[in-house]
Amino acid sequence: MSYMERHDDILNIAENWRGDGREVAIATVISTWGSAPRPTGSQLVIDGDGNFEGSVSGGCVEGAVITEAVGVISSGKPTLLEFGVADENAWELGLSCGGKIRVYVEKVN
């Protein structure tokens, strides 16, 4: 599946969830450095209950993004998240491969 097909899929899911009355946020990888699990442009759609489709990383990073996205849905305020291996928690953060990623999370209205 090409990037555009995956991107369109996430947007279609978000649209369908909104049509079902769910509150929704989309998380998008906006930059990577070094080794990263997903490329720039990868997306994750999340609803207010923490249900999700897609992927921006994996492991604990994805869990942290989902948690932040539920907060973004509640507040309506977008956020920029950064994850990397700059500290002793690299294995716990899911980026022990030596990369860094930036993820933008915004509510879908």
Residue 72: the pLDDT is 98
Least confident range from 26-40, 50-64, 90-104: namely 90-104
Copy the structure tokens of residue 18.
């909104």
- Torsion angle, alpha carbons of 55, 27, 52, 2, to 10: -40
Mean pLDDT of all residues in 23-42: 90
Residue 6: the pLDDT is 55
pLDDT at 70 over 80: yes
**Dihedrals φ, ψ of 64, to 5°?**
-65, -40
d(CA 24, CA 18): 7
pLDDT at 9 over 50: yes
Residue 33: the pLDDT is 85
Residue 36: the pLDDT is 76
